[in-house]
């Protein structure tokens, strides 16, 4: 039977797929969907922590839901960075971490990555960073574990830097977004270009830890000339890695409200953002930076971006904190953002409010495919023969539309395909939903064997 193919799966046939293969990128992630929440009572939850993990790889995600300022493009703002509120939260969080660290589930297998995200974790004090670092050290970490602290350069003084280093943090991810002072001011960011470059130079001059900077392309006022300077600045800043993220219009942001009122001002359209991505990717690679994923590059082997790659390919990630999300025993888990309810649950020794999802029967396969497309290529030999043949029409359509190149043993995304990789992921999952593999759904007969250690 000829499979059903739609433009949302294959992209459009166009002379310029970088700009026109799809209408727009509307999400930062893609998934098959269709899973239902799982009812999990207190006894079942406690039983999970007595059960040993069966995961091949594990990480911790720790959420710090506080910011001093809401950026114009962000719809994740949760709580103002009141020092007393942060102190209370960190104390409770460290207590929860200490308790969880002693369970059979936690101790059964080591963790090779830890990510402290937010929010703005660098708004914690130096003493709070030390306390959190000590709590993390209670967990069984691998000898080379990547321990990342996310945040902003503003307010991250030498006392915090040295406290974090002494506690074991070895990777720092700073949200720069743009170096241009006017663009930053319009986005409600702290600090000007010179301050950012000076501070990055101070933090990178001794190679005490890996430093990563995030850039966003498509911000209001960020034209091609500004973006070219952003790329030049980040390469000259001394950082070890850089992420290039496209601005995605999200409901509830200050940008969305300004656009609705006609007060947004000039901003790059989708085609201009595609060109900006291409310029950034090509310039970095021409200067010797290695691409680790469709959005991340490194200038040396010190930067591994381990947590991000593990998250894409479905590693077990234990979440901690209000608003944290992860994956426990194969079940997606997301805690609610309400701080009061989170504190009440911890005080009563109960699971914090949130949602637990049922297991995805195709989870191993979905993680393989999502992780491969995020990296920019897929080794076809890692797919079961029947599934490889089943996906062949879709892969051939991507090649015909300039989004991928297909060889006997490898599917590799083109520059255009890497720009549209989330759309391709969504299209692939749509294809599998509408064209189930005859006989066994879409999952391989032995998914654990078929996709174990499937990404390079």
Per-residue burial over 145-157, b if 16 or more Cβ lie within 10 Å, else e, is: bbbbbbbbbbebe
pLDDT, position 403? 98
pLDDT, position 189? 87
Quick one: 236 and 264 in the same domain?
yes
* pLDDT tens string 392-437: 999 999 999 999 999 999 999 999 999 999 999 999 999 999 999 8
**Burial (Cβ within 10 Å: 0-12, 13-18, ≥19) of residue 378:** buried
The CATH number of residue 293's host domain is: 3.20.20.70
Q: Is 60 helix (H, G, I), strand (E, B) or coil?
A: strand
| Selected residue with higher pLDDT from 1 and 442 | 1
* pLDDT tens string 91-135: 999 999 999 999 999 999 999 999 999 999 999 999 999 999 999
Quick one: 70 and 95 in the same domain?
yes
Q: What angle do CA 259, 260, 261 make, to 5 degrees?
A: 90
Q: To the nearest whole number, what is the mean pLDDT of the chain?
A: 92
**Separation CA 189–CA 322 (nearest Å):** 24
Quick one: 13 and 131 in the same domain?
no
**Separation CA 4–CA 430 (nearest Å):** 10
Residue 255 CB-half CA count within 13 A: 21
Please report, in angstroms and rounded to a whole number, the separation of the first and last CA atoms in the chain.
34
Q: How many CB atoms lie within 10 A of CB 257?
A: 13
Q: How many CB atoms lie within 10 A of CB 347?
A: 10
The DSSP bridge pattern shows strands 210-217 and 241-246 to be parallel
Cα torsion 69, 322, 114, 252: sign: negative
R_g of the chain, CA atoms, integer Å: 22
Q: Is residue 321 part of a domain?
A: no
Q: Is residue 444 part of a domain?
A: no
**Burial (Cβ within 10 Å: 0-12, 13-18, ≥19) of residue 1:** exposed
**Separation CA 64–CA 324 (nearest Å):** 9
- Tokens 């293969």: give the residue: 21
Quick one: 401 and 291 in the same domain?
no
pLDDT, position 160? 98
> Phi and psi (nearest 5°) for 296?
-130, 135
Quick one: 54 and 116 in the same domain?
yes
Whether the Cβ atoms of residue 109 and residue 55 lie closer than 8 Å to each other: yes
* pLDDT tens string 8-58: 999 999 999 999 999 988 777 888 877 889 989 999 999 999 999 999 999
Domain extent for 208: 42-312
**Separation CA 28–CA 414 (nearest Å):** 19
Quick one: 368 and 270 in the same domain?
no
Quick one: 14 and 93 in the same domain?
no
Residue 448 in this model has a pLDDT that exceeds 50: no
* pLDDT tens string 360-374: 999 999 999 999 999
Whether the Cβ atoms of residue 272 and residue 224 lie closer than 8 Å to each other: yes
**Separation CA 132–CA 97 (nearest Å):** 9
Which token pair is 244? Answer: 């290039």
**Separation CA 18–CA 417 (nearest Å):** 7
Q: Is residue 392 part of a domain?
A: yes
Q: Is residue 455 part of a domain?
A: no
Q: Is residue 322 part of a domain?
A: no
Cross-strand partners of 175:
214
The DSSP bridge pattern shows strands 141-151 and 111-118 to be parallel
Q: Is residue 281 part of a domain?
A: yes
* pLDDT tens string 60-102: 999 999 998 776 666 666 788 899 999 999 999 999 999 999 9
Beta strands in 239-288 (DSSP E): 241-246
Q: How many CB atoms lie within 10 A of CB 143?
A: 6
Quick one: 61 and 24 in the same domain?
no
Residue 313 in this model has a pLDDT that exceeds 90: yes
Cross-strand partners of 331:
328
* pLDDT tens string 176-196: 999 999 999 988 889 999 999
Into how many domains does the chain fold?
A: 2
Residue 447 in this model has a pLDDT that exceeds 70: no
Quick one: 202 and 184 in the same domain?
yes
- Residue closest to 191 by CA, chosen among 157, 148, 231: 157
Quick one: 66 and 24 in the same domain?
no
Quick one: 26 and 74 in the same domain?
no
Whether the Cβ atoms of residue 441 and residue 386 lie closer than 8 Å to each other: no
Whether the Cβ atoms of residue 149 and residue 179 lie closer than 8 Å to each other: no
What is the 3-class SS of 331-347, one letter each residue? Answer: EEEEECCCHHHHHHHHH
Q: What angle do CA 52, 454, 297 make, to 5 degrees?
A: 110
Q: Is residue 144 part of a domain?
A: yes
Quick one: 175 and 286 in the same domain?
yes
Q: Is residue 31 part of a domain?
A: yes
Local structure of residue 251 (DSSP, 8 states): T
pLDDT, position 456? 26
């Amino acid at each position: 039977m000829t499979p059903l193919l739609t433009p949302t799966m294959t992209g459009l046939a166009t002379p310029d797929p970088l700009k026109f293969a799809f209408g727009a990128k509307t999400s930062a992630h893609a998934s098959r969907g269709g899973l239902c929440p799982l009812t999990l009572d207190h006894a079942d939850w406690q039983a999970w922590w007595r059960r040993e993990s069966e995961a091949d790889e594990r990480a911790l995600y720790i959420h710090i839901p506080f910011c001093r300022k809401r950026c114009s493009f962000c719809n994740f703002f949760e709580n103002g960075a009141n020092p007393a509120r942060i102190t209370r939260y960190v104390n409770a969080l460290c207590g929860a971490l200490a308790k969880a660290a002693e369970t059979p589930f936690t101790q059964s297998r080591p963790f090779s990555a830890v990510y402290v995200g937010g929010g703005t974790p660098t708004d914690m004090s130096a003493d709070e960073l030390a306390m959190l670092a000590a709590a993390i050290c209670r967990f069984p970490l691998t000898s080379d574990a990547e321990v990342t602290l996310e945040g902003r350069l503003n307010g991250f003084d030498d006392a915090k830097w040295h406290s974090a280093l002494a506690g074991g943090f070895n990777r720092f991810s700073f949200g720069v977004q743009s170096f241009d002072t006017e663009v930053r001011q319009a986005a409600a960011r702290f600090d000007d270009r010179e301050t950012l470059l000076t501070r990055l130079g101070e933090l990178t001059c001794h190679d005490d830890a890996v430093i990563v900077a995030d850039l966003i392309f498509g911000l209001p006022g960020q034209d091609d000339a500004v973006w070219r300077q952003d790329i030049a600045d980040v390469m000259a800043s001394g950082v070890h890695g850089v992420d290039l993220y496209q601005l995605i219009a999200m409901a509830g942001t200050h940008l969305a409200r300004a656009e609705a009122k006609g007060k947004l001002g000039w901003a790059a359209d989708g085609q201009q953002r595609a060109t900006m991505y291409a310029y950034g990717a090509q310039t970095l690679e021409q200067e010797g930076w290695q691409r680790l994923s469709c959005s991340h590059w490194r200038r040396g082997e010190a930067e591994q971006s381990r947590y991000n790659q593990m998250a894409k390919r479905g590693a077990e990630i234990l979440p901690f904190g209000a608003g944290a999300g992860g994956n426990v025993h194969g079940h997606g888990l997301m805690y609610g953002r309400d701080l009061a309810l989170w504190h009440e649950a911890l005080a009563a020794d109960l699971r914090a409010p949130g949602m637990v999802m049922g297991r995805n029967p195709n989870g191993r396969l979905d993680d393989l495919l999502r992780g491969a497309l995020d990296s920019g290529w897929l080794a076809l030999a890692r797919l079961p023969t029947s599934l490889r043949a089943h996906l062949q029409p879709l892969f051939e359509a991507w090649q015909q539309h300039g989004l991928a190149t297909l060889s006997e043993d490898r599917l590799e995304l083109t520059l255009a395909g890497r720009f549209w990789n989330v759309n391709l992921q969504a299209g692939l999952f749509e294809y599998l939903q509408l064209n189930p593999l005859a006989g066994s759904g879409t999952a391989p007969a032995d998914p654990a064997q078929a996709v174990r250690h499937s990404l390079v």
